[in-house]
Amino acid sequence: MKKVLDKLCDYRRYCWNQGLALWNDMYDVSLILNDKRLKPSERKVRDELVANKEDWQYQLSARCLQLAVSDLGKAWSNFFNKSIPDWGKPKFKSKKAPRQGFKTDRAKIVNGKLRLDKPQGITEWFDIKFKGAKSLEGDLKVVSIYRENSQYWACLPFEVEIAKKAKTGNKTAIDVNVGHFNYTKGKVNTLPDHLKKLYKRIKHYQRQLAKKRVVNGRQAATSNNYVKTRAKLQRYYRKAVNIQHDLIQKFTTQLVDDCDKIAIEDLDVKSMQMTHVASKGLQRSLFGYFRQVLAYKCSWYGKELILADRLYPSTQRYANCGYIKKGGEKVGLMGNIKHGTKHNEYVCYECGYQADRDENAVANLLALIE
DSSP secondary structure letters along 288-346: HHHHHHHHHHHHHHT-EEEEEPTT--TTTB-TTT--B--GGG--BTTBBTTTTB-TTEE
Q: Measured between alpha carbons, how far is residue 66 from residues 29, 43, 49, 62, 330 in Å?
A: 24, 10, 10, 7, 54
Give the domain range for residue 177.
Answer: 171-308
Judge whether 180 lies within some domain.
yes
| Domain boundary pick from 278, 308, 338 | 308
DSSP 133: G
Give yes or no: residues 195 and 265 share one domain.
Answer: yes
Judge whether 113 lies within some domain.
yes
Give yes or no: residues 153 and 9 share one domain.
Answer: yes
| Domain boundary pick from 277, 308, 339 | 308
Q: Which long-range contacts (CB under 8 A, 24 or more apart) does 153-157 make?
A: 154/114, 154/128, 154/130, 156/107, 156/114
The highest-confidence range among 22-31, 73-82, 173-182, 322-331, by mean pLDDT, is 22-31
Judge whether 92 lies within some domain.
yes
Give yes or no: residues 8 and 149 share one domain.
Answer: yes
- What is the predicted pLDDT for the residue at 349? 65
Judge whether 340 lies within some domain.
no
Give yes or no: residues 131 and 69 share one domain.
Answer: yes
Average pLDDT over residues 51-72: 90
Give yes or no: residues 151 and 28 share one domain.
Answer: yes
| Amino acid occupying residue 319 | A
Give yes or no: residues 20 and 148 share one domain.
Answer: yes
Nearest 5°: the CA angle 65, 70, 74 is 145
**For the CA atoms of 228, 229, 232, 236, what is the dihedral angle to 10 degrees?**
-160
Are β-strands 261-265 and 171-177 bridged in parallel, bridged antiparallel, or unpaired?
parallel
Judge whether 192 lies within some domain.
yes
State the pLDDT confidence band at 363, using cuts at 50, 70 and 90: confident
The total of structural domains in the chain comes to 2
Q: How far apart are CA 317 and CA 321, in angstroms?
A: 9
Q: How far apart are CA 368 and CA 175, in angstroms?
A: 13
Q: Among 149-153, 196-200, 223-227, 240-244, which is the least confidently predicted range?
A: 149-153
Q: Measured between alpha carbons, how far is residue 45 from residues 16, 28, 221, 326 in Å?
A: 11, 14, 37, 55
Judge whether 341 lies within some domain.
no
Q: Measured between alpha carbons, how far is residue 116 from residues 69, 110, 121, 302 in Å?
A: 20, 10, 15, 35
Give yes or no: residues 13 and 146 share one domain.
Answer: yes
pLDDT in tens, 216-263: 887 887 888 888 898 899 889 989 999 999 999 999 999 999 999 999
Give yes or no: residues 215 and 113 share one domain.
Answer: no
Give yes or no: residues 10 and 137 share one domain.
Answer: yes
Judge whether 368 lies within some domain.
no
Residue among 5, 245, 243, 16 at smallest CA distance from 147: 5
CA atoms within 13 Å, Cβ hemisphere of 85: 10
Give the end-to-end CA distance of the chain in Å, rounded to a whole number.
58
Mean pLDDT of the chain: 83
Q: Could you tell me the pTM of the whole model?
A: 0.73
- What is the predicted pLDDT for the residue at 277? 60
Give yes or no: residues 231 and 294 share one domain.
Answer: yes
| Domain boundary pick from 105, 124, 159 | 159
Give yes or no: residues 216 and 132 share one domain.
Answer: no
Whether residue 268 has pLDDT greater than 80: no
Compute φ and ψ for 234, nearest 5 degrees: -65, -35
Whether residue 1 has pLDDT greater than 80: no
- What is the predicted pLDDT for the residue at 3? 84
Q: How far apart are CA 9 and CA 152, in angstroms?
A: 11
DSSP 258: H
Q: Residue 335: beta bridge partners?
A: 332
Q: Measured between alpha carbons, how far is residue 219 from residues 97, 150, 214, 226 in Å?
A: 17, 21, 10, 10
- What is the predicted pLDDT for the residue at 335? 65
Compute φ and ψ for 112, nearest 5 degrees: 75, 15
Give yes or no: residues 10 and 133 share one domain.
Answer: yes
CA atoms within 13 Å, Cβ hemisphere of 10: 9
Q: Among 58-62, 103-107, 181-185, 349-353, which is the least confidently predicted range?
A: 349-353
- What is the predicted pLDDT for the residue at 359? 80
Q: State the angle between helix axes of 42-51 and 2-33 in degrees (0 to 180), rounded to the nearest 10.
A: 120
